[in-house]
Structure 1
Amino acid sequence: MSYRSEFYVFDEGKTLPAVIRSYHMNDFDELIQIQSECFPPPFPAELWWNKEQLKNHTTLFPEGAICMEVDGELAGSLTGLLVDFDPNHPNHTWEDITDNGYIRTHLPNGNTLYIVDISVRPKYRKLGVGKMMMQAMYHLVIQKGLDRLLGGGRMPGYHHFADRLSPQQYVEEVVGGKVKDPVISFLLKCGRTPIGLVENYLEDEESHHYGVLMEWKNPFQKM
């Protein structure tokens, strides 16, 4: 099922047309370019999307493959898949649960929408692009009657504090508003809640390879 929602965003008082829509093959080159802008070194370039991964996103679970345009330019993308998640056994790696981004682990009858990636071009981040794409996925969680939206957030600010804070302490400082992290603080503003810390979640030197599992529970689903 193809997704498309048209609206306006505001850039310092200027009204700009915007659309959130499913992404397609014609978008692949631009989506890879966006990844390079969002995840510069020391983030490993081999973790940027490749065209085989993007093709899988659009064929295995097109409802979870969306992008956003602002004034005709691609501003960001979000990718998800369905998984069965057991809160009593939360530990996993990004590579295992997402099939290293190829999403062949997608389960059509899964209970959880898992966010594989969200990328927003730096020049568009002040417009709320990421938050609006996340909200589109909340709508999908409700539409499908899923238990939750879930994903592992990087904590790229942690390397500045690693000499004096444990990973858990760092997350607590971010949640408490004492420290701002580029990813975790953003996810908190999107309504996501931390439920656990995972060691060796992703190859990511800035995060010391940790990820923070953060969920949004379906408010219409009894659990």
Structure 2
Amino acid sequence: MPDLPAVSPIVRPRAVEDIPAIQDLMRRVYPPPHGPEAVWGAGNLRRHLERFPEGQMVAEAGAGLIGTSTTLRISRELALAPHTWSGITGAGSLATHDPAGEVLYGVNIAVDPAWQGRGVGRLLYEARLALGRRLGCRAFVAGARIPGYHRHAATLTPEAYLEAVVAGRMFDPTLSKQVQVGFRVLGLLRDYAPDHETLGHAALILLEL
């Protein structure tokens, strides 16, 4: 395991100056076979800050950026209806952001592989939930990746896999942790986003604020 800075990570608002470091981080988080579209473009990152600056955060330790998260606001009706990642995020541009939306929607979260399992993702989630409460949002919703599904796809439908994870009979590296911190799984989002581990599917998760 690589040596890590002997400092506690902090979460702060994203700044324009962070864009190159965010792109470097996302390349580490999404190596091949993820395609280049998994890395935010610089123009897109600037648009995020223009459309919803308070919803964009980074985590850092010392001088290094070790995590990033992206959110938008949207109506509860749209958030809980069947949707794809591209459709609900405006293909990642946040063009769908509604400043009056009662739901804070989790567009993306990424943690440096060297820091995964060290609580950075939890810090980013706590900061996003605190933001939602501060803005008066009623819930946090996201399409949660189910990266363990590809190992069971030959024998289980994605719906059956979700049921097993929620019941605790199977462990999923992402969804199990979200269930443990209080998220409810409302159902499956089929063909949510291209992903070789999830086979494109995601769990629709909700936490009331």
Pick aligned residue for 1:176 from 167, 172, 195: 167
Cα shift at 1:178: 2.3
Pick aligned residue for 2:152 from 161, 164, 178: 161
Cα shift at 1:48: 1.5
TM-score in terms of structure 2 length: 0.92
Q: Is the 8 A contact 2:79 2:105 kept in 1?
A: no
Q: Deviations over 1:9-38 (max 9, x none)?
A: xxxxx9523321111111111111111111
Pick aligned residue for 2:105 from 104, 114, 123: 114
- Alpha-carbon RMSD: 1.9
State the one-letter code of the partner of 1:97: I
Q: 1:137: which partner in 2?
A: 128
3-state SS of paired residue (1:74) = strand
Cα shift at 1:43: 2.1
Partner Cα distance (1:67, 1:172) in 2: 32
State the one-letter code of the partner of 1:86: E
Cα shift at 1:85: 2.1
Partner Cα distance (2:8, 2:158) in 1: 40
After TM superposition, the runs of 4+ consecutive aligned structure 1 residues lying more than 4 A away are none
Partner Cα distance (2:170, 2:68) in 1: 27
Q: Is the 8 A contact 2:150 2:198 kept in 1?
A: yes
The percentage of counterpart residues that share the same residue type is 31
Partner Cα distance (2:182, 2:62) in 1: 27
Cα shift at 1:211: 1.1
Q: 2:20: which partner in 1?
A: 29
Q: Is the 8 A contact 1:32 1:49 kept in 2?
A: yes
Cα shift at 1:45: 1.9
- How many residues align? The count is 206
Q: 1:215: which partner in 2?
A: 206
Q: Deviations over 1:174-212 (max 9, x none)?
A: 122222222212322343221110111101122111111
Q: Deviations over 1:105-160 (max 9, x none)?
A: 11000110001100000111122001111111111111122110111011111111
Cα shift at 1:93: 0.5
3-state SS of paired residue (2:134) = helix
State the one-letter code of the partner of 2:156: L
State the one-letter code of the partner of 1:182: P
Pick aligned residue for 1:61 from 2, 27, 52: 52
* Residues 166 and 63 of structure 1: CA distance in aligned 2, closer, same or farther (over 3 Å): same
Pick aligned residue for 1:102 from 93, 101, 113: 93
Cα shift at 1:87: 7.4
State the one-letter code of the partner of 2:170: V
Q: 2:119: which partner in 1?
A: 128
Partner Cα distance (1:85, 1:41) in 2: 35
TM-score in terms of structure 1 length: 0.86
Q: Is the 8 A contact 1:134 1:190 kept in 2?
A: no
